[in-house]
């Protein structure tokens, strides 16, 4: 499988736009230093290319900013604001229990091995893996197979996930 380009309705960003988004994450070009942002430029390597993780992070930030600016013009409408996400999380925890303590779950398996499973429909390097899978169903399969923890990728562009996947996986396990 090869990585496929993003759909035409997804914005494409230049390397400078991506670097600037990462600089903004670190407080802006004026506030960031070589110590905090040197990795963005490969610590002076003129042939440096951003890592895929850097590209995904910067693209997610730019997409989010674009959705806020267009207030509903994107494919998914305006993104939820932090306060709204916190309220949703609070309601979910009230109805379904608190977040599960990863460290305690893994330590509780000692001296045996704890198995971590990962749910993703696609990846930047492999393209589509299993875009048809339901996160809840797959999480149930992983749980029944003995997974101690399940990672659910919620990034939309390259991993084809969403917050609904995380909810579905939690409710299924």
Is 50 exceeded by the pLDDT of residue 2? no
Instruction: From 63, 83, 81, select the one nearest 73 (Cα to Cα).
Output: 63
Q: What is the pTM of this model?
A: 0.73
Tens-digit pLDDT profile for residues 64-79: 877 777 654 445 566 7
pLDDT, residue 50, reads 86
Question: Which residue is it, tokens 């090869």?
Answer: 2
Is the model's pLDDT at 7 over the cut of 70? no
Q: Is the pLDDT of residue 3 over 80?
A: no
**Ordered alpha helix ranges (H), the chain:** 15-25, 34-37, 52-70, 82-96, 102-108, 135-144, 163-172
Q: CA 69 to CA 92: how far, in whole Å? A: 28
- What is the predicted pLDDT for the residue at 75? 52
Asked if the model's pLDDT at residue 10 lies above 80, the reply is no
Give the pLDDT mean for 139-159.
94
């Amino acid at each position: 499988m090869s990585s496929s380009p993003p759909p035409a309705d997804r914005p494409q960003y230049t390397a400078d736009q991506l670097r600037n988004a990462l600089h903004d994450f670190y407080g802006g070009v004026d506030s960031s230093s070589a110590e905090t942002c040197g990795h963005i430029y490969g610590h002076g390597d003129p042939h440096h290319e951003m890592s895929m993780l850097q590209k995904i992070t910067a693209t997610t930030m730019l997409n989010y900013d674009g959705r806020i600016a267009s207030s509903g013009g994107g494919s998914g409408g305006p993104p939820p604001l932090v306060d709204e996400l916190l309220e949703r999380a609070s309601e979910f925890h009230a109805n379904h229990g608190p977040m599960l303590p990863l460290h305690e779950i893994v330590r509780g398996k000692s001296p045996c091995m704890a198995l971590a499973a990962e749910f993703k429909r696609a990846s930047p390097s492999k393209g589509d893996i299993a875009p048809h899978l339901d996160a809840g169903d797959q999480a149930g399969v992983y749980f029944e197979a003995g997974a101690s923890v399940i990672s659910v990728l919620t990034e939309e562009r390259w991993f084809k996930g969403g917050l609904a996947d995380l909810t579905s996986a939690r409710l299924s396990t």
